[in-house]
C-alpha cells in the first residue's frame, strides 16, 4: 500500500511522538527506582515488563498509522523522537545548572 507524502509526514511525526513517550516512560521508571530502592531481580523484572510494554505500544502505533507494515520513516521517527528527548533533557540540565550558579552568585552578593 502506497502512502502519500502528507500521510508519510504525519506518520513520521506520530512516530517521533511515540519515541518521546518511550523515553519519558523510561525516565519515569528510573526516577521511581531512585525514590524506592529495588533489588536486582525487581529491576530486571521491571525492565522486562517495560520493554514488553514498549514493544506492544510500538506495534500498536505502527499498526494504527502504517496499517501494520514496517516503514523506514516510522523507525527513523521513533529513533529521532528518543534522541530529541534525550538531548532536550541534557540541555535542560545544563540550563538548570547555569541558572543555579547565577542565583547562587546573586544570593552571595546580597
User: Which range has the worst mean pLDDT, 11-15, 63-67, 73-77, 81-85?
Assistant: 63-67
* Model confidence pLDDT, tens digit, residues 4-18: 788 888 888 999 999
pLDDT higher than 80, residue 37: yes
**105 pLDDT above the threshold of 90:** no
Q: Phi/psi of residue 68, each to 5°?
A: 85, -5
pLDDT in the model for residue 40: 93
pLDDT of residue 1: 58
CA-angle at 54, arms to 22 and 61, nearest 5°: 85
CB atoms within 10 A of CB 76: 14
pLDDT at 3: 66
**C-alpha span between 2 and 88 (Å, rounded):** 34
pLDDT at 2: 64
pLDDT at 73 over 80: yes
Query: In the prediction, which pLDDT does 81 show?
Result: 93
C-alpha cell at 91: 540541555
Contact status, residue 15 vs residue 82, Cβ threshold 8 Å? no
- What per-residue confidence (pLDDT) applies to 26? 94
CB-count exposure of residue 25 (10 Å: 0-12, 13-18, 19+): middle
Q: CA-CA distance, 30 to 28, in Å (whole number)?
A: 5
C-alpha cell at 80: 529521532
pTM of the model: 0.78
**From CA 46, how far away is CA 41, in angstroms rounded?**
9
Amino acid at each position: 500500500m502506497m502512502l502519500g507524502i502528507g500521510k508519510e509526514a504525519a506518520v513520521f511525526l506520530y512516530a517521533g511522538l511515540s519515541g518521546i513517550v518511550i523515553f519519558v516512560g523510561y525516565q519515569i521508571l528510573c526516577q521511581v527506582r531512585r525514590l524506592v530502592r529495588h533489588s536486582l531481580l525487581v529491576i530486571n523484572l521491571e525492565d522486562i515488563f517495560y520493554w514488553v510494554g514498549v514493544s506492544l505500544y510500538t506495534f500498536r502505533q505502527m499498526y494504527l498509522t502504517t496499517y501494520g507494515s514496517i516503514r523506514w520513516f516510522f523507525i527513523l521517527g521513533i529513533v529521532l523522537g528518543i534522541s530529541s528527548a534525550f538531548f532536550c533533557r541534557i540541555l535542560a540540565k545544563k540550563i538548570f545548572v547555569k541558572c543555579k550558579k547565577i542565583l547562587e552568585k546573586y544570593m552571595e552578593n546580597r
